[in-house]
Amino acid sequence: MKIKSVGLQGFRGYSSRIDVEFPNLRVLVGKNDIGKSTILEALDIFFNDGKGCAKLDKEDINKTNLLAGDNTIEISVEFDDLPSRIIIDSTNETTLSEEYLLTPSNTLQVIKRYPNAGTAKVYIKANHPNADGCRDLLLKKNAELKKTLNEQSLECTDKTKNSELRKAIWLGQADLQLEEMEIEVAKFDSKTIWDQLKAYMPLYTLFQADRKNSDGDSEVQDPMRLAVKEILGDPGIQADLAKIADTVKTRLDEVARQTLVKLSEMNPDIASSLNPQIPDSGALKWGDVFKSVSISGDNDIPINKRGSGVKRLVLISFFRAEAERRQREAGLPSVVYAIEEPETSQHPDHQRALIDALVALSGVPRTQIILTSHSPEIVKRLKFENILLITGQDSASIRQVQEHELPYPSLNEVNYVAFDEPSFEYHNELYGYIESQGALAAYKAGKPTVAYNRLNRDGTTTPQQILLTEYVRHQIHHPENTCNSRFTDAQLNQSIEDMRAHIQANP
């Protein structure tokens, strides 16, 4: 499965509902404290149920909604690239389509609602039968399904399988009255349906920018923990673990049998059987065995005790290795890597190496990458369709970055267009682009000039008349020349606008 879109409502700053599309590579850009990390942490809560980096509490309830009497947080995820076959009852295979669990667009949409930031209520929004005798079949036990089958005088080839019973009942109906509705799949008897569906969800791991510098520093350990999840998900290892569980159960059965013999000698009326109750192998928390996995470097010094740059370099190396491994190996589980500000504490060369690895990784089947970033080095190596600009916390403030004046994604241009932030870097980018096109002469033609004092090597000055753009550029690159008045913010903005207008007029 892959994430197609995510919806949030009532979570932190998001009062009204927002929906965000997620291709294989999605990069969220915007000012600090605008809600980028909120989206990543909402997904962590959705997938990891509070066992990941983010923990849900009452402070996460949107304050505006709370004052209006609404204390519910909603996080929904729509999936595509769905499995061809699934198991939701015992070992009987079926399909999401046959169970009427898909939207009209043939996607799977799972909604989690957290009343008062408490335990999630889980729903699937789907085009589902609503005719009498056909609704709520997913919530019914085998005996109830058989009763419905008999009441409608229908036949079923295998009444031991719930999915076959449901199929027979639905096929026997002339008009299923399909309607888009929400089916609660994590309550009472239907809880096993959600437990089974969770096994098909992608692994989601969030790498946060904030570093705790403790032995449990998730930034360092999470790559290893994710590796543990993937390794334990290998079908061969799962089979070995099932054998171990069966061996343990067999020995426990023998212990119980011997105990029962001795119990019968003392008082045979107490019990006629003793049955060890252990979870199914698939429900055992094998990952807990490896929860203390960590990394040490030379002289067994834990990596989390090293500097921030070293720790992030380990993370970069992990993703570079993952890109190669996932391209090389087949049959790997679906994963989502969510990374906050991967450029933190890294040289631009390392930033470029990381984003190249992540772009390659996003092209591997069953792999998605989600980033937040403030780095021009990272943004410039992306495509426009990868970037999502967040300027506020409503639907109108979350939009795709479009191609503007520069023919490549530029964070400086995004900041200028979205936040009206002129910068030296954007000025340099625009000038460099015009120069690379051999268009400086055309740009200068006919434009007014301003007085500028050129500083000579002997300390004297030479008066000149130059363009405002060059006046600004010279002062950016030659701060040692103090013989001119410093350009103003208005002049910087005017120069940027002049260059943008020229590029627009000469595509």
DSSP state of 187: S
Contact 148, 115 (CB under 8 A): no
Better-predicted residue by pLDDT, 395 or 276: 395
Tens digits of residue pLDDT in 379-392: 878 888 899 989 88
Tell the burial category of 18 from Cβ atoms under 10 Å away from its Cβ (0-12, 13-18, 19+): buried
pLDDT mean over 454-465 = 90
DSSP state of 270: S
Please give the structure tokens belonging to residue 206: 């969030």
Asked whether residue 120 carries a pLDDT value surpassing 90, the answer given is: yes
User: What's the alpha-carbon Rg for the chain, to the nearest Å?
Assistant: 30
Asked whether residue 214 carries a pLDDT value surpassing 50, the answer given is: no
pLDDT band at 401 (very low <50, low <70, confident <90, very high): confident
What is the value of pTM for the model shown?
A: 0.75
Asked whether residue 185 carries a pLDDT value surpassing 60, the answer given is: yes
Angle made by CA atoms 240, 245, 248, in degrees to the nearest 5 = 125
Amino acid in the structure at residue 434: I
Asked whether residue 67 carries a pLDDT value surpassing 80, the answer given is: yes
Asked whether residue 375 carries a pLDDT value surpassing 90, the answer given is: no
| Per-residue confidence (pLDDT) for residue 122, from 0 to 100 | 93
pLDDT band at 195 (very low <50, low <70, confident <90, very high): confident
Asked whether residue 117 carries a pLDDT value surpassing 90, the answer given is: yes
For the chain, percent of residues with pLDDT exceeding 70: 85
pLDDT mean over 460-474 = 94
Please give the structure tokens belonging to residue 494: 């005017």
| Per-residue confidence (pLDDT) for residue 252, from 0 to 100 | 82
DSSP 216-261: T-HHHHHHHHHHHHHHHTSHHHHHHHHHHHHHHHHHHHHHHHHHHH
Q: How far is Cα 273 from Cα 284, in angstroms, rounded to an integer? A: 25
Please give the structure tokens belonging to residue 457: 């090597």
pLDDT mean over 24-50 = 92
| Per-residue confidence (pLDDT) for residue 298, from 0 to 100 | 62
| Per-residue confidence (pLDDT) for residue 251, from 0 to 100 | 86
In the three-class reduction of DSSP (H, G, I as helix; E, B as strand; rest coil), residue 34 is classed as coil
Asked whether residue 232 carries a pLDDT value surpassing 60, the answer given is: yes
Contact 315, 219 (CB under 8 A): yes
| Per-residue confidence (pLDDT) for residue 307, from 0 to 100 | 60
Better-predicted residue by pLDDT, 353 or 64: 64
pLDDT band at 414 (very low <50, low <70, confident <90, very high): confident
Asked whether residue 199 carries a pLDDT value surpassing 90, the answer given is: no
Better-predicted residue by pLDDT, 242 or 119: 119
The interaxial angle of helices 411-419 and 424-436, nearest 10 deg, is 120
Asked whether residue 330 carries a pLDDT value surpassing 80, the answer given is: no
| Per-residue confidence (pLDDT) for residue 453, from 0 to 100 | 93
| Per-residue confidence (pLDDT) for residue 309, from 0 to 100 | 62
pLDDT band at 215 (very low <50, low <70, confident <90, very high): very low
Better-predicted residue by pLDDT, 4 or 421: 4
Mean pLDDT over each residue of the chain, to the nearest integer: 84
Q: How far is Cα 234 from Cα 501, in angstroms, rounded to an integer? A: 56
DSSP state of 310: H
Tens digits of residue pLDDT in 271-306: 666 676 776 666 677 777 776 666 666 666 555 666
Give me the residue spans of the domains in the chain: 422-505
Q: How far is Cα 224 from Cα 251, in angstroms, rounded to an integer? A: 33
pLDDT mean over 78-105 = 88
| Per-residue confidence (pLDDT) for residue 206, from 0 to 100 | 86
| Per-residue confidence (pLDDT) for residue 34, from 0 to 100 | 87
Q: How far is Cα 101 from Cα 109, in angstroms, rounded to an integer? A: 8
